[in-house]
A and B are shown apart, each in its own frame.
Chain A
Amino acid sequence: MPVERFNTLVSGYVPLPVDNIDTDQIIPARFLKETSREGFGKKLFYDWRYLGNGDPNPDFVLNDPGFSGKILVTGKNFGSGSSREHAAWAIYDYGFRVVVAGSFADIFRGNALNTGLLPVEVGSAFIDTMMKALELSPAPRLKVDLENQRIKLMPDGISEGFEIDAYKKNCLLMGYDDIDYLLSRQKEIEKWEKTNKR
């Protein structure tokens, strides 16, 4: 599916400062039995978010009314483990549009971009500052500027640049996806197949 266009986002952020959050935590395997893409947001971080009896876990950040916004801030190696794109769908479906992390697992990064969810990798000092800033009142917000590849703590905090593959950046800015692109080059692919028979 074509992805939603992304340019600049200003929003509050939700802190989940844990390293190595794997896809089994983001969306446990038992919820992967759907045959469509919608509705996974309800299952996001399920085993952390709900207690054994199904009640919301009051200690988990998504159940804390003190935090809201379209940006999730987390630790290093986010999204390791399985290739399930459902993890990116769940985060997106819940309402997040950006995940800021110390680093990302490869497959997750690709899946996020294909879903229209922007992965932003920043240094640990920036994450620490964002976490500390949440103690202020009113809590600051983040400005994520894809065009200029910068993330800034608002109103007047620090800012940092981030990397993104030029091709993928363009896809997000324009709302294109890889399939549109590949199909536009189908002739070339078929020609290549003929000369590279195997």
Chain B
Amino acid sequence: MSARTIIDKLWDAHVVGDIDGVSGILYIDRHFVHEVTSPQAFEGLKKRNRKVLRPEKTIATADHNVPTMNQDQKVRDSLSRLQLDTLGVNCREHGVSLFGLGHENNGIVHVIGPELGITQPGMTIVCGDSHTATHGAFGALAFGIGTSQVEMVLASQCLVQSRPKRMRIRLEGKLQKGVGAKDLILYVISRMSTSGATGYFIEYDGPAIRRLTMEERMTVCNMSIEMGARGGLVAPDQTTFDYLEGRSFSPKGKEWDQALEYWKTLPSDRDAVFDREEVFDISDVEPMVTFGTNPGMAIGINGSIPPLRPSFMKSLDYMGFSPGEQLLGRDIDYVFLGSCTNGRIEDLRQFALLVAGKRKADGVTVWIVPGSKQVEKQAVNEGLDRIFAQAGMEFRQPGCSACLAMNDDKIPPGRYAVSTSNRNFEGRQGPGSRTILAGPLTAAAAAITGKISDPRDFI
């Protein structure tokens, strides 16, 4: 067989049948479900008088609209409560495992899949959520789908898909101290633009990627959608295997050995041809911050806002910034550490390292929201919660929180938030909110200074 990319290998291994030479029927190994994009899909099944075909391949969690305080009490917002209850009823009726509010495995869907070992190399993984590419960090073909497609997978364990176009992004060089995976991906998006990868699956490769931990690779893959890609992935290697070994849902014993043998065949063949190749040297990347209302509008922390086309001025007006200005030193009001981009234990550790022994700046509200119950537990075991408390910061309970403000955690109109989440769209964190995307270290520096600051001055 001719040389193939990892994307082709994953695709070929899951095509049940061809439709017209372009589209095919793709089999789905794992389907993650959450409360917001599933009710209409279950309703559709009911109308067709169907059951979930493979409930054992379907895993549900509650994350988008859960409160991040007092999770043991009744959810106050009645609409959110109805969605959460509906998810419970649907899962029970169809025999789907649900890690609901308060469950020890509960958390953001893209945080729990990997940490429990449900996400594995070689799989096709979907979820009614655009950041499903996060799971690609394991060498899986993972992508977000709409609610009609959620219904398709529930009903048939398959999707109609067209064969993906393949792009490889090679990252050369070595990240500087104080610069992390989030800065890396914000840099790549700023170079590619928010639609630069539309229609492609991306394989991230190169020495800079190989050096990243699994959690950092997840941060990178998570934001693939922000350049329009269908998904992004990293071929599995020893880092992947070490991460997965011994996790609750990882294969055990002989099955582990067999799985490992298969996973090692996945990386792209040496001569494999991609439809497009991009190479970036990331040695000079600085901590990155966004200045506009899409994730591609990002600059290095010491840079200034570039001159923009008139169509982008609306975006700057919304943010209250002007071309030529520096962001460094500007006052901010909120800091949010969390989300499926940066709500894992390594993110919390980095943040804690910088704020340990210091106080948050006056007038700044700091929310630290773990991505899952497991992350929360681990943070408490390591004493990070005490560091946060001593710094005057709020350590909350797991959920999507201020990433999309469907819950109580909203940034008020006109206020600035340095946020480790993935989207700075108008109103994303609450109507009128102004979001500056950054990595955990930059967020930590902002929390203690009350200003946009270079984290390298504090480490």
List residues of chain A with CB under 8 Å of any chain B CB. Answer: 1, 18-20, 22, 24-25, 28-30, 32-37, 47, 52, 75-77, 80-86, 88, 103, 105-107, 110-111, 114-115, 165-167, 177-179, 181-183, 185-186, 188-189, 192-193, 196, 198
Does A81 lie within 8 Å of B65, measured CB to CB? no
- B425-445 to A contact mask, C-beta < 8 Å, 1/0: 111100100000000000000
> Within the assembled complex, what's the spacing in Å between the Cα atoms of A33 and B36?
7
Q: Which residue of B lies closest to A178 (CB)?
A: B160
Q: Is B423 an interface residue (CB 8 A)?
A: yes
Q: Is B311 an interface residue (CB 8 A)?
A: yes
**B156 in complex: contacting residue of A18, A84, A106, A186, CB < 8 Å:** A186
Does A20 lie within 8 Å of B147, measured CB to CB? no
Does B86 lie within 8 Å of A35, measured CB to CB? yes
Q: Is B80 an interface residue (CB 8 A)?
A: yes
Does A24 lie within 8 Å of B423, measured CB to CB? yes
Does B160 lie within 8 Å of A167, measured CB to CB? yes
- Distance in angstroms from B65 CB to nearest chain A CB is 7
Does B16 lie within 8 Å of A192, measured CB to CB? yes
Residues of B87-108 contacting chain A, CB below 8 A = none
**A107 in complex: contacting residue of B29, B65, B144, B160, CB < 8 Å:** B144
Of B43-51, B174-182, B355-363, B365-373, the one contacting chain A is B43-51
- Distance in angstroms from B54 CB to nearest chain A CB is 8
What are some 26 contacts across the A-B interface (CB < 8 A)? Answer: A22-B294, A24-B427, A28-B427, A29-B405, A30-B405, A35-B82, A36-B39, A80-B194, A80-B294, A83-B146, A84-B36, A85-B40, A85-B148, A88-B146, A107-B225, A110-B149, A114-B148, A167-B23, A179-B155, A182-B25, A183-B50, A183-B156, A188-B16, A189-B27, A189-B158, A193-B27
> Within the assembled complex, what's the spacing in Å between the Cα atoms of A26 and B28?
29
Does A35 lie within 8 Å of B155, measured CB to CB? no
**A33 in complex: contacting residue of B29, B294, B406, B423, CB < 8 Å:** B406
Does B20 lie within 8 Å of A167, measured CB to CB? yes
Q: Which residues on B sit within 8 Å (CB–CB) of A37? A: 40, 43
Q: Which residues on B sit within 8 Å (CB–CB) of A22? A: 294, 423, 425
Q: How many residues does chain B have at the interface if contact means C-beta atoms less than 8 Å apart?
A: 66
> Within the assembled complex, what's the spacing in Å between the Cα atoms of A182 and B48?
13
5 additional contacts (CB under 8 A) given A30-B405, A33-B77, A182-B156: A77-B194, A82-B129, A82-B404, A106-B199, A186-B156
> Within the assembled complex, what's the spacing in Å between the Cα atoms of A105 and B423?
15
- Distance in angstroms from B167 CB to nearest chain A CB is 13
Does A33 lie within 8 Å of B65, measured CB to CB? yes
> Within the assembled complex, what's the spacing in Å between the Cα atoms of A196 and B13?
9
- Distance in angstroms from A105 CB to nearest chain B CB is 6
List residues of chain B with CB under 8 Å of any chain A CB. Answer: 13, 16-17, 19-20, 22-23, 25, 27, 29, 36-37, 39-40, 43-44, 47-48, 50, 64-65, 77, 79-80, 82-83, 86, 128-130, 132, 144-149, 151-152, 155-160, 162, 194-195, 198-199, 225, 228, 230, 294, 311, 314, 404-406, 413, 423, 425-428, 431
> Within the assembled complex, what's the spacing in Å between the Cα atoms of A193 and B158?
11
> Within the assembled complex, what's the spacing in Å between the Cα atoms of A110 and B161?
10
Q: Which residues on A sit within 8 Å (CB–CB) of B160? A: 167, 178, 181-182
> Within the assembled complex, what's the spacing in Å between the Cα atoms of A75 and B425?
17
Does B311 lie within 8 Å of A165, measured CB to CB? no
> Within the assembled complex, what's the spacing in Å between the Cα atoms of A83 and B294?
16
Does B294 lie within 8 Å of A179, measured CB to CB? no
> Within the assembled complex, what's the spacing in Å between the Cα atoms of A152 and B130?
34
> Within the assembled complex, what's the spacing in Å between the Cα atoms of A185 and B152?
12
**B82 in complex: contacting residue of A30, A33, A178, CB < 8 Å:** A33
> Within the assembled complex, what's the spacing in Å between the Cα atoms of A83 and B142?
13
Nearest 3 CB-CB pairs, A to B? A85-B146, A111-B146, A114-B148
Q: Which residues on B sit within 8 Å (CB–CB) of A24? A: 423, 425-428
> Within the assembled complex, what's the spacing in Å between the Cα atoms of A185 and B9?
23
Does B228 lie within 8 Å of A106, measured CB to CB? yes
Does A35 lie within 8 Å of B39, measured CB to CB? yes
Q: Which residues on B sit within 8 Å (CB–CB) of A166? A: 20, 22
Q: Which residues on B sit within 8 Å (CB–CB) of A88? A: 146
> Within the assembled complex, what's the spacing in Å between the Cα atoms of A172 and B224?
30
**B198 in complex: contacting residue of A30, A106, A179, CB < 8 Å:** A106
**A1 in complex: contacting residue of B47, B77, B149, B294, CB < 8 Å:** B47
Does B36 lie within 8 Å of A32, measured CB to CB? yes
Q: Which residue of A lies closest to B413 (CB)?
A: A52
Does B423 lie within 8 Å of A110, measured CB to CB? no
> Within the assembled complex, what's the spacing in Å between the Cα atoms of A123 and B25?
31
Q: Which residues on A sit within 8 Å (CB–CB) of B199? A: 106
> Within the assembled complex, what's the spacing in Å between the Cα atoms of A179 and B159?
9
Q: Which residue of B lies closest to A22 (CB)?
A: B425
Does B162 lie within 8 Å of A165, measured CB to CB? yes
Q: Which residues on B sit within 8 Å (CB–CB) of A186? A: 156
Q: Which residue of B lies closest to A78 (CB)?
A: B195
Residue of A33, A47, A84 ringed by the most chain B CB atoms within 10 A: A33
Q: Which residues on A sit within 8 Å (CB–CB) of B149? A: 110, 114, 178
Q: Which residues on A sit within 8 Å (CB–CB) of B158? A: 182, 189
Residue of B39, B194, B195, B198 ringed by the most chain A CB atoms within 10 A: B195
Does A20 lie within 8 Å of B40, measured CB to CB? no
- Distance in angstroms from A69 CB to nearest chain B CB is 24
> Within the assembled complex, what's the spacing in Å between the Cα atoms of A179 and B146?
13
Does A165 lie within 8 Å of B198, measured CB to CB? no
> Within the assembled complex, what's the spacing in Å between the Cα atoms of A36 and B16?
32
Does B405 lie within 8 Å of A189, measured CB to CB? no
Q: Which residues on A sit within 8 Å (CB–CB) of B128? A: 83, 85
Q: Which residues on A sit within 8 Å (CB–CB) of B13? A: 196
Q: Which residue of B lies closest to A166 (CB)?
A: B20
Q: Which residues on A sit within 8 Å (CB–CB) of B82? A: 33, 35
**Given A32-B406, A167-B20, A167-B160, is A182 in contact with B152 using a C-beta cutoff of 8 Å?**
yes
